[in-house]
Structure 1
Amino acid sequence: MTDVYEQLVDHAPVGLLTISLGGVILAYNRRMATWLHEHNGAETDTFVGRNIVDWLTPSTRMLYETRVMPQILSTGSVREAVIEIKGPDGSRVPFLMNAEVAEGDGETHLRAALLAAPGRIAFEREVVQARHDAEVASEALSLMQDATSKLAVAQGVDDLGEVLVEAAGRATHAAWTSVRIEETVADGMSTVMRQWGTTPAGAHPNHRRARG
């Protein structure tokens, strides 16, 4: 039965780690060793005594030290924390980590299980991007509908200019917006015929010209 348990621990489809509260690796299973070797190019007999943060990407290391560990110390566990292991080629491999505080040999340490999750993380990122794109599209549609309704009731060129200034400001989230109608004469110089909105002193607006 001992062999069965050893096979289960070593060849389970998850990486298992025992680490100190400071991140030092105390024990690991063969699956974890394989993953660390594949993604970091490390030798499989050099993990004990090294710190888990050695394999983390800079952003994941910051997350681990500022959010994951404080939560573990506060609540005793963490569930589905996303961490990324850096590869020797600069690639990032995402994992989901569950960890909990444990006592053993008179010392407090962490038991952690890591599950490779590139597909899930990629899917979640796609969902976030799709939600963002939908929000942007919805905002653009709302802006267009609002501008169209205001243009329909505009009374003359002054109302038209004000509607364009408001619409351009909302669309670009700019600190200031100016709409200008210019006439270009034969020598290539332009003369401002009409202007709406404000242009701060010294500003160089990026604008399209309505040529006369």
Structure 2
Amino acid sequence: MNETTNEFYENLFTPGTALSELKFDGFCDWFVRLSDVSVHWEYQPSYVLSQCSYLLGGLITFIHACNHGGRLPYLWLTTILHGLAVESISYIHPDIDNFWHSQTFLIFLGRRLPLHIIVLYPVFIYNSSIAAAKARLSKWSEPFAVGLLVVLIDIAYDIVSVNFLHWTWHDTDPNIYDRHYWVPWNSYYFHATFAASFTFWFHFTREVFCESDGKWLADKR
């Protein structure tokens, strides 16, 4: 990265900075950026702690999935893929490109996708799926239970994160005008519906394409 581009990027760490555009030194610089974590700790220590919490949560859920086997590793992996797809589409579709994460020590896709957001999805959906499964609900109600559990996890996270500027929402977008402690109600609706639909399709595809004796057992083939 040349000196001009590097200085331009460093301005993102200064509170109150307003930039009309981001400049990148080639594809690699656009795809991923690694920076000094001490700089982030200086300006947003709560954000660093939040990132570490979700990275740890992602690691714990991964270990749990690997230890218990069956379809749980597939559940963990598909939550990651689900999150990557949702986040990536959000950054390129103008109708839903209405939020911005603060900068982190490791960030992807044009400074838009922090590392911890990738593992946030298994922390939300994987844990909620396991909890809902323990309740032994009916097939039709379990996806809705997962969606509600995800929202329960997300409520506190959203409110605290917006308060500490871990990310921000577009101020004038009418789609997210109605808010709860500055968090758009649509955010909760998004998490509930996407988690519920993800759960439905995850188990429905097993019934259609797999040969197993239970929803958490891997394919016999």
Q: Same fold (TM over 0.5)?
A: no
Q: Report the TM range for the smaller structure's normalisation.
A: under 0.3
Higher helix share: 2
More strand by percentage: 1
Larger Rg: 1
